[in-house]
Amino acid sequence: MHLVSVDPQDHPASILSDFSETLTETLEYTAAFTPAAFPTLMKDLDPRWIDEALETTGTATMRHRRLPADRAVWLVLGMAVLRDWSITTIVNQLELAMPSPSGLRTVAPSTIVKARARLGADPLEVMFTRSGDEWAHASANRHRWRGLSLYAVDGSTLRVADSDENRAHFGSHEAGAGRGISGYPLMRAVVLMAVRSHLLAAATFGPYAVDERAYARALWSSVPDRSLVLIDRHYLQADVLVPLMTQGHDRHWMTRTKSTTQFRLIRNLGPGDDLVEMEVSHEARRKDPSLPTHFDVRAIRYERKGYRPQCLLTSMIDAERFPAAEVRALYHERWEIELGFGEIKTDMLERLETIRSKSPVAVAQEMWGILLVYNLVRLEMERIADELGVAPIRISFVAALRSFVELWLLGSKSLSPG
């Protein structure tokens, strides 16, 4: 629709009447595309979440500021998707700054830096954890397989800004062969994902030198009872798997064997399906005396035409409850977590895989914001999928993310940032 200027002296009343009707229709059409018309866009991020997170962590603003803590939260969320924008531009675009006595809504860059420092990382972590507890676990519960909620755990690395603080905290990758260290400090991150919706139930991250499996073990407390976790074979060791099985009720895991994996046959359960015994090494038991000497698992073999034979290992030893044919097909859903990392690193971060913040606390704050916004987009995608009667993974993440950002920016000048 195109609008043109109209001079009352040059046009009859009928034309002015038509113009008035057109203008009214245009304004009504535009008004329909404000945040108020998209109640599902941010409704799940209840403003009370922000207030409670600030109060819980002791970071609520105690006196009037141009950029109070609740609005600093929205700045961090904006940084998660407006990757090529400066933080000053984000503050201005989303009108986050409280107006000055003269009516100005702009603030100095130093004010923004101080506001982020006062906020810290804890409130964003609390909000992300709540999103996992309320959204991801509910989603996994809705998409059960044979009574089990389906999750996947895996890790990835991201670059962080090259500052002395980040180098000291996160460390770098040793390239080897005399090639020196990586150009950027590296952060290692591990997530627990609801497989069939990609919603993140939990996450942990930190220095690159810490073993990925140590981060994974830290996530087991977030795994609910009656669940199955699909894992990479890199995690195939007793001190990782036994706690997952024993520290809960009806919690299971599944992975592929390594070339070096050894086990002893107990009995055959069916074609290509065996109950086997795995031995726990003396070294592992020395480090953790609570580990057993052996534990039983199920070995399920299969081969696809044109590919090498494969063997799956799983704690689901009940062959009647968990048929081998279904287990073989189910394992390939593990790759959904790889696609999820791609959505974060390729689509959200636009292959600019460097967290821009220059201190460890600010990096953590930014990372929690990225994970929280990812969950917001994924939650909306699941809602759309329900309306269309398709699986959540059938919805385009790129299209959903673009719509999410466009609607947010469209409404940011008319209503509150949220």
The pLDDT, as a whole number, for residue 331 is 95
The pLDDT, as a whole number, for residue 25 is 45
The contacts of residue 202 (CB under 8 Å, 6+ apart) are: 129, 132, 136, 191, 192, 219, 222
**159-194 in b/e burial notation, b at 16+ Cβ within 10 A?**
bbbebebbeebbbbeeeeeeeeebebbbbbbbbbbb
**Strand, coil or helix: 300:** strand
The pLDDT, as a whole number, for residue 21 is 52
Task: Confirm if 315 and 297 have CB atoms less than 8 A apart.
Answer: yes
The pLDDT, as a whole number, for residue 37 is 37
**Strand, coil or helix: 147:** coil
Instruction: Please identify which residue in the block is written with the tokens 């469209």.
Output: 410
> What values do phi and psi take at 280, rounded to 5?
-90, 130
Residue closest to 79 by CA, chosen among 379, 368, 351, 358: 368
Residue closest to 331 by CA, chosen among 390, 257, 243: 257
The pLDDT, as a whole number, for residue 16 is 41
**How far apart are the C-alpha atoms of 174 and 178, rounded to whole Å?**
9
Long-range Cβ contact pairs of 409-415 (< 8 A, separation 24 or more): 409/93, 410/33, 410/34, 411/33, 411/34, 411/35, 411/36, 411/38, 412/93, 412/94, 412/95, 413/95, 414/34, 414/35, 415/34, 415/35, 415/36
The pLDDT, as a whole number, for residue 268 is 97
Residue closest to 230 by CA, chosen among 271, 191, 269, 274: 191
Distances (CA, A) of 155 to 86, 147, 320, 353: 29, 26, 32, 15
End-to-end CA distance of the chain: 29
Sequential pLDDT tens for the chain (418 residues): 333 333 444 444 444 444 345 434 433 433 343 334 334 445 667 778 888 898 888 887 655 678 889 889 999 999 998 888 899 998 888 888 887 777 677 788 899 999 999 999 999 999 999 999 999 999 999 999 999 999 999 999 999 999 999 999 999 877 655 566 778 899 999 999 999 999 999 999 999 999 999 999 999 999 999 999 999 999 999 999 999 999 999 999 999 999 889 999 999 999 999 999 999 999 999 999 999 999 999 999 998 888 889 999 999 999 999 999 999 999 999 999 999 999 999 999 877 667 889 999 999 999 999 999 999 999 999 999 999 999 999 999 999 999 888 887 876 665 555 4
What is the separation of C-alpha 137 from the centre of its chain, rounded to a whole number of angstroms? 13
Task: Confirm if 297 and 278 have CB atoms less than 8 A apart.
Answer: yes
Task: Give the count of beta carbons closer than 10 Å to the beta carbon of residue 286.
Answer: 9
